[in-house]
Structure 1
Amino acid sequence: MEKRIINPWQWQDSRSYVQAVDVQNVKGTLYVSGQTAIDADGKSSNGDMKSQLIQSLQNLEKVIVDANYECKNIIRLNIYTTSSEELFTCFDIFQNWIEKHGIKQTSTLLEVKSLFETLKVEVEATVVK
């Protein structure tokens, strides 16, 4: 698999995403459903945004690893949240996770009216190998 990052500008660098990713010679593609702060028993979290973001990223990582892919090969990572303002108070959690895995992904952040039950944040990904 070959990845080429396209960034005509530099301002997106501080926001932990890239403008485009060109991927060639892919051996597989994993489309991951939105991952949220739901535990192994299917119970939705009542926690704050920070704890839900941490659990959502842990759940995303588990699905990726269990599918025999690597987080560093995430090429698209979309975030849905019930409050962008609240998400940005703990956005460093997301940025540190991206940096830890060396991810260079395209992203879209959307504020939505609601998510399932008590959930505040959801992340969905596309991963290649």
Structure 2
Amino acid sequence: MERTAVNPWDWSLKLGYNQAEIIEGAKRQVTCAGQTAVDGNGVPQCAGDMRGQIALALDNLEAVLAKAGMDLSNVTRLGVYATDVDEALKNFDLLGMRFGPHNAAPPMTLLGVTRLAIPGLMFEIEATAAD
């Protein structure tokens, strides 16, 4: 798979994502459900801790991708939902720490929501990946 970044402006690069990417030569695509801060039994973790919830949601996303034979380098799009956008943005360095080593800056949308499916969860991340 070959990725070509499309960035008519550079401001999004400072936030860790491309405006678009051209994906060529992909053989498989995986669509991941939203991942949150739950344990292996689906029990919410890190109550009241946005940073902890982002870290665990990313762990869970990586686990789903690994089960599909992929990793964060394969992610072509992210959808992020947060009950407190400002607090999520304060902790977005975690995304850079995870995606940076893969040289990945997938296009992303961040939406503020009043709540997520399970009370107490503050952050959810969904992904599309290809190889």
Tell me if 1:20 matches 2:20: yes
The residue type equivalent to 1:127 in the other structure is A
Identity of aligned residues (%): 35
Which digits, 9 at most, give the CA deviation of each residue in 1:40-74, with x for residues without a partner? Answer: 01101224000000000000001001110121121
TM-score, length of structure 1 as denominator length: 0.95
Structure 2: how far apart are the matches of 1:71 and 1:98? 6
Structure 2: how far apart are the matches of 1:79 and 1:73? 17
CA apart distance, 1:119: 0.3
Structure 2: how far apart are the matches of 1:55 and 1:61? 10
TM-score, length of structure 2 as denominator length: 0.93
Q: Which moved more, 1:4-13 or 1:52-61?
A: 4-13
Runs of 4+ residues deviating >4 angstroms: none
The residue type equivalent to 1:52 in the other structure is Q
Tell me if 1:117 matches 2:128: no
The residue type equivalent to 2:3 in the other structure is K
CA apart distance, 1:100: 2.3
Q: Which moved more, 1:19-28 or 1:57-66?
A: 19-28
Structure 1 portions without partners, runs of 5+: none
Which digits, 9 at most, give the CA deviation of each residue in 1:15-46, with x for residues without a partner? Answer: 11001111122110000000000100110122
State the match for 1:69 in structure 2. Answer: 70
